[in-house]
Structure 1
């Protein structure tokens, strides 16, 4: 048997490593994820809907969402960017003090497929530790930017004590064409009991001002959930396999730096 030349073996090895790194991308396809990956999709108990927000905190927009949620008596899960949390630590503390759950959305909103294992670990650890330093509690939930996981992200999340969770329905609220009506319509078209809703309380990676459409749709979404008999709350109350009945923040102990 002829042995392949070193260059060919190196190419094959690189291709195999790349394929392994990118394999979790299949979870980006919502219908497949919702059917075959209920834990990653955030499927919980049938009478509950988990409400989640990404890309904050933003002092221009997040306080408006906090006021609406408070007026409705609803708590949610906020997946925060570490870089934004560092800019607005008071707002992070306000989110936590209001009883909302806080998860990690990474330090920067960049695709994890473009990052190697060490860079991925450092990004998640930096965001986790920044949030822990601000709130005094360590996050236990993680949502990747764009909802795209990689093998390195799964490994890093496990080592850092973070449970990945995506969503079962969204509002497509990040576009310039979004309106309160379109956001509400898009969410409720796929809304089912046990589902996890993705919305955005910031436009830092979306069309400028798009958060206003989300804000306008929020009361309507909550009303629809109530009309369908669903309780709305954070992932910690979702009866979701990844929650384990625990909260999304746990007390930080000692040095929270990742290893």
Structure 2
């Protein structure tokens, strides 16, 4: 789930010395599209203008993730799955199958907690632990990191760098974690924010979202992929995304 940050970060910041609060929560401003997209295109997942990176958060989930894998097979698309370390060790078979089907497995942290107070040592340990879990199960070192809720703190940015991971957020999402999400609402929300070179955020699990909300994302996949292809865009994982500035291709 990726909700809008509320009062919690501001409250946490008031309880910390100014310098510590700025170093810890300052990078979280990149959650805002108006900050991230123009100023930090690499963090926003900006890639080759004829490519779209398709990504999923919050898995693995033995109930829903295999359905996404089947749907992606049917569409002939590979994607990047940002997984939680605690879920990897509980469901290694799902992660292993994800990798065996040709998808990238990336790090979403060890769990899905909110990082309002600084804990750099814990951040470093948990990101490294999650990266090791992915490596142990897939046999491949992960390349990417996306913090839970998309909230990038100073500690988590440093932790990802120390673990050899590149942090990537997104440029378009489907708001697919909400109780009222539908396949059409997810498709329309993605299309409204997506341009060539963009990175899509969806969720393959409802563990941190409204019950069964993953069904809206799953139902939207064929239309999202079709819209990209009609615009002349290739859909794939972050590893095939490149790093060329956006050229302004709009997805219908």
Check if 1:135 corresponds to 2:138.
Answer: yes
**Contact 2:84/2:130 (<8 A) preserved:** yes
**Secondary structure in 2 aligned to 1:138?**
coil
**Contact 1:112/1:144 (<8 A) preserved:** no
1:61 aligned residue: 64
2:223 aligned residue: 220
When the two structures are superposed, what TM-score results if normalisation uses the length of structure 1? Answer: 0.86
Equivalents in 1 of 2:209, 2:28: separation in Å?
A: 22
| Runs of 4 or more consecutive aligned structure 1 residues displaced over 3 Å after TM superposition | none
Equivalents in 2 of 1:152, 1:179: separation in Å?
A: 35
Which of 99, 102, 105 lines up with 1:102 in the alignment? Answer: 105
**Contact 1:48/1:231 (<8 A) preserved:** yes
Check if 1:77 corresponds to 2:80.
Answer: yes
2:160 aligned residue: 157
**Contact 1:113/1:148 (<8 A) preserved:** no
1:22 aligned residue: 25
**Secondary structure in 2 aligned to 1:198?**
strand
**Contact 1:201/1:214 (<8 A) preserved:** yes
**Contact 1:51/1:197 (<8 A) preserved:** yes
**TM-superposed deviation, 1:112:** 2.6
Equivalents in 2 of 1:65, 1:12: separation in Å?
A: 42
**Secondary structure in 2 aligned to 1:106?**
coil
Equivalents in 1 of 2:87, 2:69: separation in Å?
A: 17
**TM-superposed deviation, 1:208:** 0.5
Give 5+ residue unaligned stretches, structure 1: 1-10, 242-259
* Pairing of 1:212-251 with structure 2 (within 5 A): 212-240=215-243
**TM-superposed deviation, 1:12:** 11
CA RMSD in angstroms, aligned pairs only: 1.5
Give 5+ residue unaligned stretches, structure 2: 1-13, 245-252
**Contact 2:24/2:118 (<8 A) preserved:** no
Equivalents in 1 of 2:54, 2:117: separation in Å?
A: 29
**Contact 1:112/1:120 (<8 A) preserved:** no
Check if 1:186 corresponds to 2:226.
Answer: no
Equivalents in 2 of 1:113, 1:122: separation in Å?
A: 17
Equivalents in 2 of 1:29, 1:195: separation in Å?
A: 16
1:198 aligned residue: 201
